[in-house]
Structure 1
Amino acid sequence: MNTRELAKIDLNLLISLQVLLEEKSVSRAAERLFITQPAMSKTLSRLRALFGDPLFTRASHGMQPTPRALELELGLTRILGGISQLVTQNEFDPALSDAEVTIALSEYIGLALLPKLTERLQAQAPRLNIRIITRVENQLEQLALGKLDFAVHIKQARYGDEFRVAELGGSPPALLLRDGHPLCDTPSTPTMLNDYPVIRLYVSDWEQLEMRSISRLFEQSALPGQGSLEISHLMTAMEILRNTDYYMPAPAYLTQSETNSKGITALPLPWEDDATLDYVLVAHQRTENSPLHNWLWEQITCTIRDLRPTQPNKLRQRVTARR
């Protein structure tokens, strides 16, 4: 495409040509375009110079288009219609959308969110393509670069003004370990944790978290002589917990599913800490005028709202029962 040549053309001239072809009269075309007749005559002169053709000749009933004008008319309506469609925002229909949306979503968050969200999307937008990335660092930067459309993660300490953030709720942190683990028989202390290996469930950008309890556990796991395993596969981590003396700091809500948490016990953190792991939905301002993204934002927040009534009480009961 020769953009340099296009830049020399006043596209308003093409609109004027379209109106002249429809009206076949300089005066009537001027009325439609809200300009004077002399101004319209001047525009016609510019059109004749642009196309190197008279375009119209005088006739007893208005103006008669030349063969060149009729040739231009064939493509002009289509071109102007395409430009109009390009700048006009069509009403979004989720049932017809086959767009792809990329979401950063850790597996332990997806375990609660995705089953209900995909059920909702299947009913309303069956052709939509959702791409879930479970392990990605620098999520705010990735959102700004357009490599992510949404991120659902543990709340960070700071978000710039260019980010849209919605609170999704929270869960108390807990220590997950197998039923019958030695730590189950006596109140655990931070020092006692050093005697057992730890599973570090992947948390993106954990050093930027607003709540420091999980960061504190991560820092402890680096002590000499204490084994550790970092993993992003939740189901694998839960299976390791069932069969070893590893423990894992994680959101307490993971124990709400009897199937996934069978044989797993949730203990409170071994220090006084009433904080919760707060979760947020984040998007960049570049998508704020996108009907698709605004619709999907609503679907995610509504799904969380529907889940919320039964989650917090059950989770806290599981954690506080052993206090």
Structure 2
Amino acid sequence: MTEPDLNLLIALDILLAEASVVGAARRLGLSASAMSRTLSRLRAVTGDPLLVRAGRNMVLTPYAEAIRQRSQNAVFEARAVLRPSSVELNLSTLDRTFTLRANDGFVVAFGALLIEAVAEVAPFVCLRFVPKPEKSVTHLREGRVDLEIGVLGDMGPEIRVQALFRDRFVGIVRKGHPFEREPEVTAGQYVSFGHVVASRRERARGPVDDALAELGLKRKIVAVVPNFSAALAVAQASDLVALAPASFLINQAMVNEKEAVNPIFIFELPVKTKKITVSQMWHPRLEVDPAHRWLRQLVLRVCSQRLPE
């Protein structure tokens, strides 16, 4: 009996995770045609189509759905077997790419510091930051990311969680805005100007609006943008008011001290909102991995050294 080509296992795992030939090709660094040939080989080996056309998309067959979790576990187990755990971690020679899923606010605030901290002791390690358009445990479960960073959602009971820091929202306007002349911005003054809101889910209302409603006030939302960077840019070029996590403005505050071309004025919100806890999350399969443990400790240390006030 001919032994199966175990290299196909990785391709199978990624194809089932992506449910797309193009997506799987992108992750494996192959051309779409090469990935199609690999899918043909997998179909021949398994005796099942695995992926079939459904309108403009591809969907998994019942057999593919049934073996999806098994293929993931097989790949993880194989990688664990081939990664020596008894050898002491040598950061100077560690050659590995870690994928961190985080929003733009975290990358802006801590990305450069993390990259620098890694480069000092592990010159062959690469940090790959990927966007986080929504909260989802799928990426951790499928092994597509090493760390998920953000506010804890419904991640499931098996996901490991460690708090990094507590954050709060602050207001932002351009330098020279009327708010800059006020010793303290009142709720009435706050709602007298138009507002630009950052929301990756295109939602205009949030905790600030709930707090204002208790005072019988309502702010006028004139624009909704996809991220805090865009909200900041709009506020810098207009009289609109924006808000963002204090941690997001760490680097911006440092730039302002150097008289940036488009500086901003940061002020405390006139209403109280709950502080948010930013955490790092990982799958338990990586709990005892020495390199992953080092990464988690590094992320915690870097964030602790730069906590927002």
Same topology, TM > 0.5: yes
Q: Give yes or no for the alignment of 1:147 onto 2:141.
A: no
In 2 relative to 1, CA 213–197 (structure 1 residues): closer, same or farther, beyond 3 Å? closer
User: Kindly, what percent of the aligned residue pairs are identical?
Assistant: 18
Structure 2 counterpart of 1:175, one-letter code: G
1:189 aligned to 168, 187, 193, which one?
Answer: 187
1:121, distance to aligned residue in structure 2 (A): 0.7
- Match of 1:226, SS state, is strand
Q: Give yes or no for the alignment of 1:229 onto 2:220.
A: no
CA contact (8 A) 1:195 1:226 kept: no
- Match of 1:160, SS state, is coil
1:3, distance to aligned residue in structure 2 (A): 4.5
Paired residue for 1:42?
A: none
Measure the CA separation in 2 of the matches of 1:204 and 1:150.
25
Measure the CA separation in 1 of the matches of 2:136 and 2:120.
29
TM-score, L = length of structure 1:
0.57
Structure 2 spans left out of the alignment, 5+ residues: 5-80
CA contact (8 A) 1:214 1:249 kept: no
TM-score, L = length of structure 2:
0.59
Measure the CA separation in 1 of the matches of 2:93 and 2:198.
41
Whose helix proportion is higher, 1 or 2? Answer: 1
Paired residue for 1:264?
A: 264
Structure 1 spans left out of the alignment, 5+ residues: 5-84, 313-323
What's the Cα RMSD here?
3.6
- Match of 1:238, SS state, is helix
Q: Give yes or no for the alignment of 1:127 onto 2:121.
A: no
1:260, distance to aligned residue in structure 2 (A): 3.8
Q: Give yes or no for the alignment of 1:242 onto 2:236.
A: yes
Paired residue for 2:283?
A: 284
Measure the CA separation in 2 of the matches of 1:164 and 1:240.
37
Structure 2 counterpart of 1:198, one-letter code: V
Paired residue for 1:160?
A: 156
CA contact (8 A) 1:104 1:136 kept: no
Measure the CA separation in 1 of the matches of 2:181 and 2:302.
38
- Match of 1:297, SS state, is helix
- Match of 2:99, SS state, is strand
Q: How does 1:36-55 map to 2 (within 5 A)?
A: none
Measure the CA separation in 2 of the matches of 1:121 and 1:96.
12
Q: Give yes or no for the alignment of 1:178 onto 2:177.
A: no
- Match of 1:239, SS state, is helix
Measure the CA separation in 2 of the matches of 1:297 and 1:252.
22
1:89, distance to aligned residue in structure 2 (A): 2.5
Measure the CA separation in 2 of the matches of 1:100 and 1:199.
34
